[in-house]
Chain A
């Protein structure tokens, strides 16, 4: 069994609200997996079911091949978790909190802990109640990265961090991933997911609507091309897969399906190219495509004119 996390038709209801509606998620060992979705889509609920804090109402969830509800405390020895909204004990210092959390797991590597404190620029002598949101998050991050575990569950871990600290965070994730740790990273920071994750799952209203590698997902999407050509170009609008064509003299802009890239580039090469930029679709655009109807319903134009 190579899947560290696996859910099949997972259902969780709160009263008559269905938070997770037949959710299928699979994360392979050693993978850094992005978990995308807007607020309220069910990201945190999924993670809490995986942590055995919530009991599933239907379907199956497996963590390391075991039931996350009945085997919770044994499984937790092998993972570390950073909640989206970290609450600390007001009377304990950050250092004490990190030590307690580490010792619950059977001890903490002091060298690693101190190194992480340094890297995250965190003062361990402050009391929990006097930390800002970002610093509370750092306490949980230091505790998680200092732990010697096989799986990291990170629920919007950088939501309160400044860009410098977000960079340190990225570096830490890459390091643990290089050592073979599996990471589930829930986030709405697309650039972070793009940089760190091999695979992405997009959740919407409790259902995984798309899952795959970034390359796979891009395959179904359009690239944006901006070219300056030497001679006027014709016939581009006859090509299958070309959208939003705008020709202004020698200046050509268009969106193209990945399958039609060859034809478009050949056509442009015929007339001669002075300058060419080709942008692959960003994760953000991919993401917005799945939510395009929701945005449209709210009267927001997401730039997709087709």
Chain B
């Protein structure tokens, strides 16, 4: 054999081929995503631990849990939690109750993590040409994808282990049950990592790959919810459903549904690895469409451009709030059923103030919707910072645009997005609530309850903008007020916060309409506070340096 024929075979390396260099890339990718991974791990597992620690004391004895199970056994509640099969086991197993409550939403959030992780490791690198440099090194064509997937699997195992430990020692959970509970998340993480790997081959951009991933997740959650509500086969179409169908910590506990999850993951992985060598570097598999050669006539000012650029967030906000409102609105009617499942003492506590259970429930869900609508306002403010650090704002700032126009127009855009999302959510909440209670008066009550959240939403949005204006580098400051309001709303009572501490959250001052009368003065004060904070923000945008990369 001559050296001439040996060299190509030596280059191909026979054993590794397109996977050459995977080990080195794995270490590199671990190194550069460690903050992302640690952050998500702490958030997901930490949240799970907190709830797991608080759970047993909320429902200490079998009687309480059995009563709670009765309130959950309506189609609406099952759609928001998990399969009915768990409910019969509530009395003897706190673990079953925990799993029924947690798997759907914590599983969905776990999937979000893996979608984001895989797109940032694969398509984001390819889009920005960072991967181009890597591929020019002696590494195989599939090595970066392989390294990303190995990393995702390792992280999924870690998350699963953390989840398993979080339920260990809970009443009704044995070692096998804990392991299965953890594996439910590991398999979900893996399957969404693999599905996203396919999405990253189809789409040419990180944002569109994320979009495909989230669409798949949305369908997954929806199918599980529909199947659980109707107690039929539809749950079997959903990976999140498969984790729920293990019936972990119930007498019917079984492992094999997770084989479906891993099977789908394996197929997706195979497809992704096949696609990666069948396409050009940098290209996607989806067809490329040319855009408009000229701008539409309306696109003629910095403000119009801001609204155009935040259009996607507006739709995301409206769709999210509509779905959330539809889910909540459809169970307002069963609030009385919940009541009948409670003891007379508990009914007395809940009926204080003479408002009906339905009205109490309506005011609570309107506040939750408001909190989530504010989230989209904050996301729009975050876009302003991205425009600045991304350097695109430089083109606008060099034009005849006052600072109040750019970046100032991001505050009105944020307010409009949050307001439209709230209004859309309120409308749907009213419609579905009126339908589920069979009482037309609920339409007005629920819509009103949603709209009176607006001043509090404006306060949070204006606060985020002002933080952006004065301290742009400290991104967490934009979120701190929202996070505080979230903690007060969800855990204020649990943590026994004083009314003074709760009063820092603007939502605390919004009346619990329709259970109480509306306190108009409080709403006016909140609006004035929002306006003052916004004014301070505009002062800040005028004064500071703009930081372009």
| Chain A residues engaging chain B, CB cutoff 8 angstroms | 48, 51-55, 72-77, 79-81, 83, 85-93, 95-97, 99-101, 103-106, 123-127, 129-130, 140, 143, 153
Contacts and interface: CB of A to CB of B under 8 A. Distances in A.
A86 B299 contact: no
A157 B41 CA distance: 45
A100 B207 CA distance: 23
15 contacts: A53-B394, A73-B400, A73-B403, A76-B400, A76-B401, A83-B548, A90-B207, A95-B295, A99-B294, A101-B395, A103-B300, A104-B300, A106-B400, A126-B290, A143-B395
A51 B406 CA distance: 14
Contact of A87 (B205, B288, B394): B394
A148 to B, nearest CB: 12
A223 B127 CA distance: 50
A125 B295 contact: no
B305 interface: yes
Interface in B522-549: 543-546, 548-549
A73 B402 contact: yes
B397 interface: yes
B400 A77 contact: yes
A89 B295 contact: no
Nearest to B128: A129
A63 to B, nearest CB: 12
Contacts of B549: 85, 87
Interface centre among B127, B291, B308, B402 (most CB of A within 10 A): B291
B205 A96 contact: no
B347 interface: no
A46 to B, nearest CB: 14
Contacts of B394: 53, 81, 83, 87
A93 B543 CA distance: 32
Nearest to A93: B291
B398 interface: yes
Contact of A74 (B207, B397, B400): B400
Given A99-B294, A126-B291, A53 B401 contact: no
A51 B398 contact: yes
A104 B390 contact: no
A78 B294 CA distance: 24
Contact of A125 (B293, B302, B391, B392): B293
Contacts of A83: 391, 394-395, 398, 548
Contacts of B207: 90
Contacts of A72: 402-403
Contact of B545 (A54, A87, A99, A140): A54
Contacts of B401: 73, 76, 104
Nearest to A153: B398
B287 interface: no
Given A83-B391, A103-B299, A53 B397 contact: yes
B292 interface: yes
Contacts of B396: 101, 104
Contacts of B548: 48, 53, 83
Interface in B381-410: 390-392, 394-403, 405
Given A54-B545, A101-B399, 7 more contacts: A53-B398, A53-B548, A72-B403, A91-B312, A92-B291, A123-B290, A129-B205
A96 B395 contact: no
Given A104-B302, A105-B399, A105-B400, A89 B290 contact: no
B301 interface: yes
Interface centre among B302, B392, B403, B405 (most CB of A within 10 A): B392
Contacts of A88: 392
Interface centre among B398, B403, B545 (most CB of A within 10 A): B398
A31 B152 CA distance: 59
Contact of A96 (B288, B295, B544): B295
A130 B391 CA distance: 17
B299 A129 contact: no
Interface centre among A55, A76, A140 (most CB of B within 10 A): A76
A209 B305 CA distance: 42
A125 B545 contact: no
A51 B397 contact: yes
B203 to A, nearest CB: 12
Nearest to A107: B300
B38 interface: no
A99 B296 CA distance: 9
B309 interface: yes
A99 B204 CA distance: 26
Nearest to B282: A130
B391 A96 contact: no
Interface in B298-315: 299-302, 305, 308-309, 312
Nearest to A51: B398
A96 B294 contact: yes
B295 A100 contact: yes
B395 A103 contact: no
A73 B542 CA distance: 12
Interface centre among B300, B394, B543 (most CB of A within 10 A): B394
A101 B300 CA distance: 8
Nearest to B390: A87
B455 to A, nearest CB: 32
A206 to B, nearest CB: 16
A81 B391 CA distance: 13
Nearest to B300: A103
A90 B205 contact: yes
Nearest to B402: A73
Interface in B194-218: 204-205, 207
Contacts of B395: 81, 83, 86-87, 97, 101, 140, 143
A87 B302 CA distance: 16
Contacts of B302: 104
Nearest to B296: A96
Contacts of B301: 103-104
B469 to A, nearest CB: 15
B292 A93 contact: yes
A129 B127 contact: yes
A105 B401 CA distance: 9
Nearest to B546: A53
B291 A103 contact: no
Contacts of B290: 93, 123, 125-126
A105 B402 CA distance: 12
B398 A76 contact: yes
Nearest to B543: A55
A95 B400 contact: no
B292 A54 contact: no
Contacts of A87: 390-392, 394-395, 549
